[in-house]
């Protein structure tokens, strides 16, 4: 069977496992206060790829078979990701009215509700981790490390620099800082948590984290390239929506062709590195190629 077909099937199965946890954990939309719960469910079940929880579960699966032990952790990471999307779309940040082909949370429910929905997803993600059937020492470690990645040393730092860089000419160091913190770190920690819970040997963990860092940047570069394919034309130059809005993007810094070549090189390196883990890493090799060639 086509490896991509197998990957999609595997991703769909794990997506359903995560959705079950999220559906059980999040309050029903008719529970009081209704508006916030409706907003939570609207955003969390808006059709995301569930890439980050897929990475967590798949990394764990390389070492352990009983996946329900790690699924709450995977779902918690997805909650953090959903929070970032809600807040990114707010008028004071990226000011996006649409998300995944649907109206953004703040457009449907108002800015105040959207702000609180994002806050609650971030905060309650830490609670959800504590329900996982893993050792308490690991829960404490995950809460600490996720707090670091989601906070001023990670996501918020990247978001702040992204806001500050808007409309300005940025250098390559700033661009890499923004996207390493906004995108790559959460992808990397998703893999790390799965491997740690699966009790991966230290040498394997280093290989997995290197893979995560590389595909995290590939994911962002491809996002920027897909944005360019949406094309606007300015003075004969093809630019994407983000670049037109003054955002720091890989195509604006490196150009389309160099950005594409960079993504291809990182993908080759990621595949070569993870291949050292043998046959059990096959889904990650297929995934790396899939992320490079995705169309959405």
DSSP conformational letter for 98: E
Instruction: Tell me which of 20 and 248 has the higher pLDDT.
Output: 20
Query: How crowded is residue 192: how many other Cβ atoms within 10 Å of its Cβ?
Result: 22
Which pLDDT band holds residue 235 (cuts at 50, 70, 90)?
very low
pLDDT score recorded for residue 202: 97
**CA separation for the pair 151, 166 (Å, rounded):** 21
pLDDT score recorded for residue 168: 87
Q: What angle do CA 216, 87, 92 make, to 5 degrees?
A: 120
pLDDT in tens, 123-177: 999 999 999 999 999 999 999 999 999 999 999 999 999 999 988 888 999 999 9
Is the pLDDT reported for residue 230 higher than 90? no
pLDDT score recorded for residue 236: 44
**CA separation for the pair 48, 141 (Å, rounded):** 27
pLDDT in tens, 40-53: 999 999 988 899 99
Which pLDDT band holds residue 229 (cuts at 50, 70, 90)?
confident
pLDDT in tens, 254-282: 999 999 999 999 999 999 999 999 999 99
pLDDT in tens, 71-119: 999 999 999 999 999 999 999 999 999 998 899 999 999 999 999 999 9
Which pLDDT band holds residue 232 (cuts at 50, 70, 90)?
very low
- Residues 6+ away with beta carbon under 8 Å from 274: 207, 208, 211, 281, 284, 285, 288
Q: What is the torsional sign of CA 100, 102, 107, 109?
A: negative
pLDDT score recorded for residue 4: 85
**CA separation for the pair 173, 181 (Å, rounded):** 12
Backbone angles phi, psi at 222, to 5 degrees: -65, -40
Structure token pair of residue 37: 């719960």
**Residue 196, helix vs strand vs coil:** helix
User: Residue 179's closest CA among 288, 107, 259?
Assistant: 259
What predicted TM-score, i.e. pTM, was given to this entire model? 0.94
Look up the CATH superfamily of 3-293. Farnesyl Diphosphate Synthase (1.10.600.10)
Half-sphere exposure of 285 (CA within 13 A, CB side): 13
pLDDT score recorded for residue 242: 62
Structure token pair of residue 108: 């449907």
Is the pLDDT reported for residue 23 higher than 70? yes
Half-sphere exposure of 26 (CA within 13 A, CB side): 29
Is the pLDDT reported for residue 244 higher than 70? no
Task: Tell me what percent of the residues of the chain surpass a pLDDT of 70.
Answer: 94
Average pLDDT over residues 61-78: 97
- Residues 6+ away with beta carbon under 8 Å from 87: 93, 114, 115, 118, 159
For the CA atoms of 263, 77, 90, 259, the dihedral, rounded to the nearest 10 degrees, stands at 0
pLDDT score recorded for residue 33: 96
Q: Which residue has the tokens 């160099």?
A: 258
**Residue 266, helix vs strand vs coil:** helix
pLDDT in tens, 189-228: 999 999 999 999 999 999 999 999 999 999 999 999 998 8
CA distances from 243 to 7, 164, 169, 251, 296 (A): 32, 15, 11, 8, 18
Task: Tell me what percent of the residues of the chain surpass a pLDDT of 90.
Answer: 86
So where are the chain's domains?
3-293
**CA separation for the pair 120, 107 (Å, rounded):** 18
pLDDT score recorded for residue 2: 85
pLDDT score recorded for residue 100: 87
């Amino acid at each position: 069977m086509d490896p991509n077909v197998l990957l999609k099937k595997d991703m769909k199965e794990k997506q359903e496992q995560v959705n079950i946890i999220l559906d059980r954990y999040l309050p029903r939309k008719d529970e009081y206060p209704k508006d916030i719960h409706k907003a939570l469910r609207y955003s969390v079940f808006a059709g995301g790829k569930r890439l980050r929880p897929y990475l967590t579960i798949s990394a764990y699966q390389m070492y352990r078979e009983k996946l329900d032990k790690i699924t709450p952790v995977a779902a918690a990471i997805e909650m953090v990701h959903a929070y970032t999307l809600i807040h990114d779309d707010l008028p004071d940040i990226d000011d996006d009215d649409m998300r995944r082909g649907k109206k953004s949370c703040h457009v449907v429910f108002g800015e105040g509700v959207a702000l609180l929905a994002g806050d609650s997803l971030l905060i309650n993600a830490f609670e959800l981790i504590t329900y996982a059937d893993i050792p308490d020492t690991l829960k404490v470690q995950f809460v600490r490390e996720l707090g670091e990645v989601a906070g001023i040393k990670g996501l918020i730092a990247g978001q702040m620099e992204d806001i500050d860089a808007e409309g300005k000419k940025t250098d390559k160091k700033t661009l890499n800082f923004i996207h390493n913190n906004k995108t790559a770190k959460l992808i990397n920690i998703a893999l790390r948590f799965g491997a740690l819970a699966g009790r991966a040997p230290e040498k394997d963990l280093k290989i997995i984290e290197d893979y995560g860092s590389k595909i995290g940047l590939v994911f962002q570069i491809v996002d920027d390239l897909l944005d360019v394919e949406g094309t606007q034309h300015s003075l004969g130059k093809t630019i994407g929506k983000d670049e037109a809005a003054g955002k720091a993007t890989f195509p604006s810094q490196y150009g389309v062709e160099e950005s594409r070549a960079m993504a291809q090189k990182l993908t080759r390196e990621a595949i070569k590195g993870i291949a050292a883990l043998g046959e059990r890493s096959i889904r990650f090799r297929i995934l790396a190629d899939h992320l490079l060639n995705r169309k959405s």
